[in-house]
Every structure is written in structure tokens, then in C-alpha cells.
Structure 1
């Protein structure tokens, strides 16, 4: 029965996104909610200027509606469910505000880094407060070992770093048609398997709801993209996957399953440090996906290659958690 419910969740979420997109995309176009392309980015991306953005709203709607319907009908919505929805919607609203400033107020950079950071930290702190009120574990385990470290009150620092870090990591990865849609779907699929393995049914439902929404969105986001998810989608997805890992106590496993997001972030950090200390750039452009574009790879080749790496990372993460 539970297997059928999980399958039902992914189908509902997929259908909501697929059926909503043909209505929502023209609506965004009429409102002139088109993406502004950075002038310093690859020149091939300039043709994407004006492509509707804020498509992450469709993903959020599909995930929230599916999660509430399925848990309400087949399970009892738990504190885990509400925590997942709180962080996902919270980071999604923060991303929506950023997108709104970019596309409506015509400020290409959106929220300032400080404004965005404050919003991310506030959501993480509220999450921590509720998290500790329900006496969830504040220990962090090392995969493949029996070692764990009880962080106590310092877990709030870890939690802020994790949620802020991964929301920004997914946001950095969102630079090519279908890149985040595919890699995030793979990562959430892996966590759905791990949640099922832990008998955390509600977390598994949420995770497959995200997978379904992303696959539905990918129908319109694959190259050439008819819509972008914007920060509305990428910040929400990053916060959501970090929250899933925290609730499953698989925080470190996220580094492996979310390997593509980690590599993209490291490429930016390495590029900045190298340029500031030596005046040289390690990559032709960061994040990493732009480097491969500038060495001659087609956009589709980069995306499929990154999906493949993401799949290998997901398999490795599941293997380390389930079989070791």
C-alpha cells in the first residue's frame, strides 16, 4: 500500500506541474517576467533574455499541494512534514522576492547578498527552535563509521551553515537549461529511498513530491528552456534538500548525494581565492558548468554530463548508508 501511495504522490506532483505550465508560462510572459542575463556570462546565453522566470512557483505549488493531500489522506502529517514545508516555502518566498526585484523592478542583481543572507539565517534559526522543541537529535554522524558528534547548542551554527550553504549551492548550479531540475530530481530521489529505508514515510512522500514536480518542470525547462525556475525554485530546493538530510540525520551524506552542488560551489570559492591571491583564474568562468561551456562543450552535453555525475553521487550515497 505504501509503495502505491509513494507512486501516487510522484504522479500527482508531476501532473500538477505539467498541466499548470502551459497556463502559467504565457501568464508570466504577458507580465513580462522575463529573465535578465548577466552581461559577463557566456555570450551564447544572451539569446535567453526574456525567457519567463519564477517558474519555481509551479514547483512549490505542486510540492505543497501533493504533500498535504497525500499525508492528509494516507498518513498523519507530522512535525517533519511541517518543518519541510516551512523551510521550502520560506526559502521559496525569499527567492521570489529576489526574482521580483530582478524582473519587475529591473535590478539585475536582486536582493543584496546581506539581505538574502539575513533572510536565510532567520529561517534556519526558526527551524532550529522548532527542531529542538521536539527533541530531535543534535548529533552529526560520520558515514560508514560508528562515530557521531553531539553538537548540542552549537548545532544551530551547523544548521545555519547547512541550510544557507546548500540553498546557495543549488542556486549557483542553476545556470543551464534543465541542470538543476535534473540533478535535484536525482538527489531528492536518493533521499526518498533513504527515507523509505528508515521508515520515515512522511519525508519520503515529500521527497518524491519534489521529484515529480521537478520532472514535470523539466518538460518545459529542458534545452531550449521555455521557463526558468529562478531563485524562487533554486533557493527553495536547496533549503529543502538540506532539511531532508537533517531530519534523516544524514547531513554528511548530503555532501555525497549533492556532490554536483558541492563541486559547483567549490569552483566559485577556488576561483575567487585564486584571483584575489594570485590574480589568476583557475577556471575560464565559474560556476563550473560555465567553464565547460567556454572550453567548447554544448550546453546539452554539459547538462547531461552533470546529471550523470549526480546519478553516480546518488548511488554512492545510498550505498554508503544502506550497505556499509
Structure 2
């Protein structure tokens, strides 16, 4: 098993590292360049024109590696992980294409993205519950309590999936921040998937393939950091960030750790919360709580260097991943 995990991570890493130098110039030639907000940190203006939609690079690495290294690559479990990841990536790709290629600044409208995202969330849950035997019970982190939710499971967890997937998207605002944070969350999910396999709480008989998928996720993100770390040569765009969110959400559902996902991805949750707080405060009082949201921009405007923000946030992501694993352990009893 350990050999397949290492192979999955290494293969995704190698494929991503090899594809980057070929695809980045193509994205530049096609003029798939990033547009930078002029109301943000002024030092970001020099990033204007940096190729975006680079999520394609690591998606090829992650999916190819996961399918090649999986014990059962055609199992419904693996097909679901791959399909949902690509589904969210497709929504992001369409949004990027409209903004970057068609030069329509808004991209997909919010309701269009939400329809697609909630649709994918429902598909993920329906397959997991009705075809993979996941059930509709929910584990409460740090406890051995399991609540049977019935149909309410679909309403609650679809909201968790969509919010957390968009939270990953919101985190993608600094060079290497989303890729590095997802890498760390992916490491957490390697452990969680292995624990689920050992205890027999995950779906179907090929639970270890989820750990393989998580390892490929880690390898792909690590390879992408070669091109995305400051100063970034390419951005992942919504194509990449929504796909990464979808991958983590899929792992959460299939390992029955949906609420634990909020802890493992605590950095993403805080980033999303900062946006919600900022909007709510401005709409109700006309005042802003943060200098700018998401939260990483607040610290930039406070004078932190981009690298300092990223390193501190990566450290926070690591703490969240460790806490998430600790929160998951009692749910196995």
C-alpha cells in the first residue's frame, strides 16, 4: 500500500513538472492572462498578464496518476472522485474562459455557478448514499456521536461542499497559497483515508484507493508550486481552485468526514468567513472589518510581504490538518 501511495504522489509530481514548461508558454501565446483588481495591493498590478487557467497542468497529473496507481481504477469510488473533481474544474474552466478569452469581467453569473456546484454536490451525495452505501449519518468531530439525518443530510452537506469548495477558490489570491494549503489538506486526507480503510468506515471495499487519490492530489500541488510559488509564472485560475475544492470535498464525503473537512480545511473556512463578515458588516453598517477581504489581502495591506503571508497561512493550514486528524479519530469508535 505504501508503495502505491509514494508512486501516486511521485507520478503526479513528475507529470506536473514535465507539463508545466510546455503548457505555460502555450497559455501565454493564447494570451490567457490574469487581470488584477486595481483596488487591491498595488504590488499585485505587476502580475497582470501572468498566464492563468494553469490548473489544467496539475489536473492532468493528479487524474492520470490516481487512475494509474489505483488498485481498482474503474471502481465507482474512483470514478466518482475523478468525475466530481473534473466537474468542478469544468465549471471553473468555463468561468475562466468567459473572463479571460471572451473578456467578460464577471464570467459566469453567481447563480449559474451555484446551480452547477449544487448539482455536482447532489450527484456526489446520491452516488455515495445509494450506490456506495455511505448512508446518511453524520459524524461529529472529536466525539463518537453519529447523527442519522435522513434527507436533511443532502441539504446540510451540499451546503458544506459548495461553501468549502468556493472557500478554496477564495484562498487562491497569493502566489502558492491555495496550492500549498491544498497540499497540506491533502496530506491530512491521506491519513484520514488510511484510518477509514483500517477501521472499515469508508465506502465499498477499495477504501485505500482514496488515499492513493489524496497522494496524487499532494503530488500535483507540489509540482505546481514549482511554477506558482512567488513570483508565480502561472496561476491556477478557477479551473484549478474549484477542482481542488471538489477533490477535497469528494474525499470528505467518501470517508464520512464532512464536518472534519471544515477543520482540516480550516484555513479555507476562515478565508470564506472573512468575506462573509466583510460583506455583512459593510451592508449593515457601511464599515469594513478588514482592510480588504479575503483575509490574506488584509495582512498584505497591513504591510506583510507576500511570502510572509503565505508562510504564516501555510503554517495555519498545517495546524488545521493536524487538528482535523485528531478530530476524526474519535469518530471511528
Which TM-score band applies after superposition, normalised by the shorter structure?
Answer: over 0.9
The match for 1:133 is 130
Matches for 1:161-180 after TM superposition, within 5 Å: 161-180=159-178
For the pair 1:193 / 2:191, whether they are aligned, the reply is: yes
Residue 323 of structure 1 and its aligned partner are, at CA, apart by 6.8
Q: SS where residue 151 of structure 2 aligns?
A: helix
In 2, Cα distance between the equivalents of 1:171 and 1:273?
20
Change (3 A) 1:197 1:16: same
The match for 2:278 is 271
Alignment deviations for residues 43-100 of structure 1 (CA, whole Å, 9 cap, x no partner):
21111000000110112111111111111xx445422211111110000000000000
The match for 2:3 is 4
The match for 1:97 is 94
Aligned 8 A contact 2:134 2:256 in 1: no
In 2, Cα distance between the equivalents of 1:244 and 1:64?
14
Q: SS where residue 311 of structure 2 aligns?
A: helix
Q: SS where residue 176 of structure 1 aligns?
A: coil
For the pair 1:246 / 2:244, whether they are aligned, the reply is: no
Aligned 8 A contact 2:54 2:234 in 1: yes
The match for 1:148 is 146
For the pair 1:301 / 2:298, whether they are aligned, the reply is: no
Residue 270 of structure 1 and its aligned partner are, at CA, apart by 0.6
* Worse overlay, 53-62 or 130-139: 130-139
The match for 2:203 is none
For the pair 1:79 / 2:76, whether they are aligned, the reply is: yes
Alignment deviations for residues 78-136 of structure 1 (CA, whole Å, 9 cap, x no partner):
22211111110000000000000111001122111111111111212222332232131
Aligned mate of 2:326, from 312, 315, 319: 319
Residue 289 of structure 1 and its aligned partner are, at CA, apart by 0.2
* Worse overlay, 202-211 or 138-147: 138-147
TM-score, length of structure 1 as denominator length? 0.96
Stretches of structure 1 lacking an aligned partner (at least 5 in a row): none
* Worse overlay, 151-160 or 198-207: 151-160
Aligned residue-pair number:
321
Residue 40 of structure 1 and its aligned partner are, at CA, apart by 2.1
Change (3 A) 1:321 1:122: closer
Q: SS where residue 152 of structure 1 aligns?
A: coil
In 2, Cα distance between the equivalents of 1:208 and 1:146?
27
In 2, Cα distance between the equivalents of 1:146 and 1:132?
21
Residue 162 of structure 1 and its aligned partner are, at CA, apart by 1.8
The match for 1:17 is 16
In 1, Cα distance between the equivalents of 2:148 and 2:230?
45
Aligned 8 A contact 1:18 1:219 in 2: yes
Aligned 8 A contact 2:117 2:162 in 1: yes
Aligned 8 A contact 1:78 1:202 in 2: no
For the pair 1:256 / 2:254, whether they are aligned, the reply is: no
In 1, Cα distance between the equivalents of 2:254 and 2:330?
20
Residue 273 of structure 1 and its aligned partner are, at CA, apart by 0.9
In 2, Cα distance between the equivalents of 1:68 and 1:224?
32
For the pair 1:30 / 2:29, whether they are aligned, the reply is: yes
In 2, Cα distance between the equivalents of 1:82 and 1:154?
26
In 2, Cα distance between the equivalents of 1:317 and 1:112?
33
In 2, Cα distance between the equivalents of 1:59 and 1:166?
20
Alignment deviations for residues 122-160 of structure 1 (CA, whole Å, 9 cap, x no partner):
212222332232131211111121212111112211232
* Worse overlay, 133-142 or 276-285: 133-142
* Worse overlay, 176-185 or 128-137: 128-137
Aligned 8 A contact 2:84 2:250 in 1: yes
* Worse overlay, 140-149 or 293-302: 140-149
The match for 2:60 is 61
Tell me how large the CA RMSD over aligned residues is: 1.3
